[in-house]
Amino acid sequence: MPWAYGRGMRTVIAGGHGQIALRLERLLAGRGEEVAGIIRNPSQADDLVAAGAEPVVCDLESASVDEVAAHLEGADAVVFAAGAGPGSGVARKETVDRAAAVLFADAAERAGVRRYLIVSSMNADSGLTEPPAGMDPVFAAYLRAKGAADDAVRTRDTLDWTVLRPGRLTDGPGTGKVQLAEKTGRAEVPRDDVAAVLGALLHAPGTSGLTLDLISGDTPVEEAVGTVVGG
């Protein structure tokens, strides 16, 4: 079934008040597309409205699949950009970074939404049972949770999924130029450019089934996405 790209496209973003999500919401709204962001805290709603997004209040740590699916009805695509965030412990890496991503995938299936983008992390590894020497145990739990979420999504033939694994995120202005490939090596990437790549991936059905690393580079975003599709 073809996806309804263009001005009629509707995308729902989990973690709608996150730094990448707000950037993506502004981008999609600026293109004339419909975008909604799922948030837990109602006080964040005004920020989403300012970004051009419809705020949807729903706690992905306690909601049922049916409750989340109801918010996804009529969407053409969903983006999981939620995370427990800095300062959270091991338990919330599990409940947000893994379990909420799986719940969101279950809800997308229930609502009949095939296109599913998930923002993961470079070197995410569900098999990371013990932190490597010198690695913070909470960060190891984060990588383990992200890897498990990726694995759970990639098993589903009911979803047209793409896993995006950015390098170390920065708040500097985006350059619009990136390196996007199955493996890139470790490096930084501005959140602006992550949002730009997500926006391009939404319009690139040929990236379904791919797990992609993303760092800053020399290739314009649209060209980088097109090259991945062509490959």
- For residue 2, is it within any domain? no
Indicate whether 52 belongs to any domain. Answer: yes
Instruction: Report if residue 5 sits inside a domain.
Output: no
Q: How many domains does the chain have?
A: 1
Residue 47 within any structural domain of the chain: yes
**Assigned domain for 186 exists:** yes
Is 132's pLDDT higher than 80? no
| pLDDT value for 110 | 98
Range of the domain at 101: 10-230
Q: What is the pLDDT of residues 24-81, one digit of tens each?
A: 999 999 999 999 999 999 999 999 999 999 999 999 999 999 999 999 999 999 999 9
User: The domain spanning residue 18 has which CATH number?
Assistant: 3.40.50.720
pLDDT tens-digit map of 105-114: 999 999 999 9
Residue 131 clears pLDDT 80, i.e. is over it: no
Q: Do residues 72 and 108 touch, judged by C-beta distance below 8 A?
A: yes
Query: Would you say residue 226 lies in a domain?
Result: yes
In this prediction the pTM is 0.93
Q: Does residue 150 lie in a domain region?
A: yes
Does residue 198 lie in a domain region?
A: yes
- DSSP line for the chain: -----STT-EEEEESTTSHHHHHHHHHHHHTT-EEEEEES-GGGHHHHHHHT-EEEE--TTT--HHHHHHHHTT-SEEEE-----TT--HHHIIIIIIIIHHHHHHHHHHHT--EEEEE--TT--TT--SPPTT--HHHHHHHHHHHHHHHHHHT-TTSEEEEEEE-EEE-SPP-SEEEEES---S-EEEHHHHHHHHHHHTT-GGGTTEEEEEEE-SEEHHHHHHHHHH-
